[in-house]
Chain A
Amino acid sequence: MTTSDLFEGQTGLWEIVIGVEVHAQVISQAKLFSSAPTAFGAAPNTQVSCVDAGFPGMLPTLNGFCVEQAVKTGLGLNAQIHLRSQFDRKNYFYADLPNGYQISQLYHPIVGTGYVDIDKADGTAKRIGVTRLHLEQDAGKSIHDQSPTKSFIDLNRAGVALMEIVSEPDMRSAEEVMAYIRKLRTILRYLETCDGNMEEGSMRADVNVSVRRPGEALGTRAEIKNVNSVRYIGQAIAYEVDRQVTLIENGQKVVQETRLFDAQKGETRSMRGKEDAHDYRYFPDPDLPPLVIGQDLVERIRSQMPELPDAKKKRLIHDLSLAPYDADVIVAERETADFFEETLTCLKAFQENKAENEKAAAAKLAANWLTGDFFAALNRSGLSIIQSPISAAHLAELVDLILTNVISGRIAKDVFLEMWDSTHPPTRIVETKGLQQITDTGALEASINQILAQNADKVAEYRSGKDKLFGFFVGQVMKATGGKANPAALNELLLKKLN
């Protein structure tokens, strides 16, 4: 705990304690217990089987792919995989819950304790414990805004597989929670077990918040339900902490309850108290025998695991000497990392297996371009990296043009913009537009001679000690050559001429 995370109330400092339950929709063609499809955005009630709709005599049959996805996720969270788990029924009545119960795993979840490492703003890392991960069905959707007197039910989502990932109450600030959610999302997306899309609801978070005096026993918590963006999570926690501290400092008590976050007002409000909490009457689902998986399945999945962000970041820093910040930005999204790594494989230094320092230099330049001009262009045009008009191969080509002194970094920026608009390879653009650097000393010398002759007074000033004028001469030559002068060659020649 760092003191900076403490909340300052009227009566002193408060420690914030937060645990998070994330519901992550499993990427799978079919639902958890039926073969109905799961595509988002289909017309209401078009992706529903009789099993999903809870028809009489219908029975659940477990989708093995969803089990593999849960195991894969468990491994990605460095967690224990339980070879024997069980499904339980969580009983409650609601119109969008067709069976009157949700099939979940209360007593014996498929995944046990694990952890996620988050990076804090100050550059330090923190380990957040994962209590468990279990598989369960999603409910359908109730629609209340179509008629003043009726509600409508869409069962497309009913029965879709979810992974509920429960954290330990290890987080101490909204920033940590946001970092945790982002990191979890990144891991799930790397694993391709959940698309992490909070807007579409395929990843949802319930946040348990309490406050206490540092070092004292845990306070009473409030659960904030279904906050659907990372930013809102931050806002909801900030509001909730303030609310709880104010209550306690005014001699009142925090009651255990479920609260909803109102994004428009930026506040949480009570949804139901402890006394209204459902008695879910959990019991093992008699329609489903215990789920038993073999260690061989776990090992097969382990052997097919992609490199995860933490490992990738470490490798980029260690092998390619990337700056931690650049590495962070590159690994944050799997697509970015993939693009970057593809770029690397297209670079000459890697294709020709040059010395490590050459590779590192090339990688560094590629990383700069990717996180700089490339990201800026994506942002400007509102595109994602997989929609980019510039391929990884073309970006590598551009970097190589710079590294081999064919064009200068400055010219490269123009070439880049041209690439973006035309999708042409940079070599072709450089050739057609004649943008190659002037490295021919003869041509450069002529240009320099001309500039020095035109500015004899400045040359005299320079020679009498006004060093700063060197930049002026560089600028003039650049102007005369349309920016194509090779900067290094120019510097060298100019120095020789002036001294």
Chain B
Amino acid sequence: MTDKSSLTHLTITQALEGLRTKAFSALELTQAHVDRAQETAPLNAFITTTFEQAIERAKHSDLRLAKGETRPLEGIPIGMKDLFCTKGIRTTAASKILGDFIPPYESTISQKLLEAGTISLGKTNLDEFAMGSANLTSAFGPALSPWKDGAGTHCVPGGSSGGSTAAVASFSAMAATGTDTGGSIRQPASFTGLVGLKPTYGRCSRYGVIAFASSLDQAGPITRTVEDCALMLQAMAGYDTLDATSVNVPVPDYLQEMKGSLQGLKIGLPTQCRLDDLRPDVAALWDKAADVLTQAGAHVIPIELPLLKYALPAYYIIAPAEASSNLARYDGVRYGARVEGDSLDALYMNTRSAGFGDEVKRRIFVGTYVLSSGYYDAYYVRAQKLRARMIEDFKQAFSQVDLILTPSAPTPPFVIGGEPKDPVTMYMNDIFTVSANLAGLPGISIPFGLSSEHLPLGMQLLAPAFQEGLLLRAGKVLYDNAETHPLTALKEANRK
């Protein structure tokens, strides 16, 4: 290979073809990504790298390729968000409290990806316990986006799956896993010019995924193209008896579903998303996306999601409530960090005070508060009622349209140091994404253009439950008609 980047710049589809035709070996492909990951180490995309295992697995992939025992994603180097438990490999959730935790089990998703032939380069950085929108809360330091502002300062890669987007956007991995509780796949994808898909709740198993908010968490792929997204989702999706919230619905052929036409599809634009203070560049791009879909044969119509403005407050009650309970197990008794104390309570307080970062503590406090006797009805129960009403609103909307189109995030990425200083403004980043989590619906973020400061902006599509194929199909049209081709933009961003 003459050009070092010729392998890392491939899409998964191209790489699979190259491996099949023996244009290069899996070892070469993996080595190129290991080299690139080492080059981009300052981005802090990985908390733990597993390069040696990756090289061994690449050799194994080459054997399989030679024997014709090729699996769907044979030899594809990927990043694994450090929220997926990996047997024998440190899994931290980007928290000090799990700083040296080595799971004795494998998450279903990472297992399925291993079985599909992918090669994990390591565990990608994230916001601590996936709580954050900029990857700034990681106990292992922030991950940086390859995207920079005019002054050359790195942007945040979004969050919580910021290490995954940093790795994929910097061509250090061909794809990565993410988890999305309130937008943690779609917002970082939007911030880094990538494709990010949050599947329907129950489509991908949560078994072995460290829980943030169980009723909202969903794993999904982060890729550079829509086609790659379809390939990754194919390997990840499926019913799992180890997750009681997993849904037993057949998994379609996503590549096939992606290829259909948009003729006659109805696309809804929620009037409630047309915020008064929406940035003009974001608003203009949204209009352009609607035009692109119209030109592809779809009908774009305004729709009402009357309760959308309550999505964020409801989310920031339900998610912390579940988190406060989910994180109670990190007590220093059985595994993870322990700070001794002279009583059981002291052991708890010392361990948890030292082990959790500020954002995690904030959400545990909020969650504990809203579940407390006397406040439960006022907060948690009301939020759940809103959630139920919102689900009805979406049902109503999807009786009129096939898809919903909104921006993925209200802003392009901010630079490190330029992030909002108060948590509530930071939470506003999730304004367009949280409703899909509350309603359990699938959503995708498609890189569609650049902001006034030449930073990436994504468009979000939402679909009825288990209509991921439809998201991919419309997403592909948006992707192919983006102002600057997303891959070109990414390469450009990495050159700066």
Contacts and interface: CB of A to CB of B under 8 A. Distances in A.
B101 interface: yes
A302 B46 CA distance: 57
A57 B329 contact: no
B373 A59 contact: no
A61 B244 contact: yes
Contacts of B322: 283, 286
Contacts of B214: 286-287
Interface in A46-89: 50, 53-62, 89
Contacts of B344: 94-95, 151
Interface stretch (B102-110, B252-260, B267-275, B482-490): B102-110
B242 interface: yes
A62 B211 contact: no
Interface string B191-225: 00000000000000011111101110000000000
A279 to B, nearest CB: 5
A60 to B, nearest CB: 7
B325 interface: yes
Which of A54, A60, A151, A288 is packed against the most chain B CB atoms within 10 Å?
A: A54
Given A93-B348, A283-B321, A288-B244, A57 B103 contact: yes
A99 interface: yes
Contact of B380 (A56, A279, A283): A283
Contacts of A281: 324-325, 368, 371-373, 376
A53 B348 CA distance: 17
B331 interface: yes
Contacts of A94: 344
B245 A279 contact: no
A360 to B, nearest CB: 55
B206 A283 contact: no
B333 A59 contact: no
A55 B85 CA distance: 10
A55 B335 CA distance: 8
Contacts of A288: 244-245
A289 interface: yes
Contacts of B167: none
Contact of A59 (B84, B104, B207, B327): B207
Nearest to B206: A59
B244 A57 contact: no
A180 interface: no
Given A56-B85, A57-B85, A283-B376, A98 B207 contact: no
The B contact surface, by secondary structure, is loop
Given A54-B329, A101-B328, A286-B214, A91 B371 contact: yes
Given A95-B333, A99-B328, A59 B376 contact: no
Nearest to A45: B334
Contacts of B345: 93
A446 to B, nearest CB: 84
B135 interface: no
Interface in B323-353: 324-325, 327-329, 331, 333-335, 344-345, 348
B460 to A, nearest CB: 24
A100 interface: yes
Interface residues of A, number: 30
Contact of A100 (B91, B98, B241, B331): B331
A100 B207 contact: no
A56 B333 contact: no
Interface in B230-272: 241-245
- Contact count band on B: 35 or more
Given A59-B244, A62-B244, A101-B325, A54 B103 contact: no
Contacts of A54: 329, 334
Interface string B151-187: 0000000000000000000000000000000000000
Contact of B98 (A56, A62, A101): A56
B93 interface: yes
A59 B244 CA distance: 8
Contact of B213 (A91, A100, A286): A286
Interface string A83-115: 000000101011100111100000000000000
Nearest to A101: B325
A57 B325 contact: no
A153 interface: yes
Q: Interface centre among A58, A94, A153, A283, by most B CB within 10 Å?
A: A283
Contacts of B380: 283
A59 B322 CA distance: 14
Contacts of A151: 344
A57 B102 CA distance: 12
A53 B103 CA distance: 12
B329 A100 contact: yes
A57 B209 contact: yes
A153 B333 contact: yes
Contacts of A53: 334
A147 to B, nearest CB: 14
Contacts of B213: 286
Nearest to A99: B329
B373 A279 contact: yes
Contacts of B91: 56
Nearest to B329: A54
10 contacts: A50-B104, A54-B334, A57-B207, A60-B244, A93-B328, A93-B331, A100-B331, A281-B376, A283-B322, A289-B245
Q: Which 7 A-B pairs have the closest CB atoms?
A: A100-B328, A286-B215, A281-B371, A286-B214, A54-B329, A57-B208, A56-B210
Given A100-B331, A281-B325, A286-B215, 20 more contacts: A53-B334, A55-B103, A56-B93, A56-B211, A57-B206, A57-B208, A57-B209, A57-B211, A61-B244, A93-B345, A151-B344, A279-B372, A279-B373, A281-B371, A282-B371, A282-B376, A283-B321, A283-B371, A283-B376, A287-B245
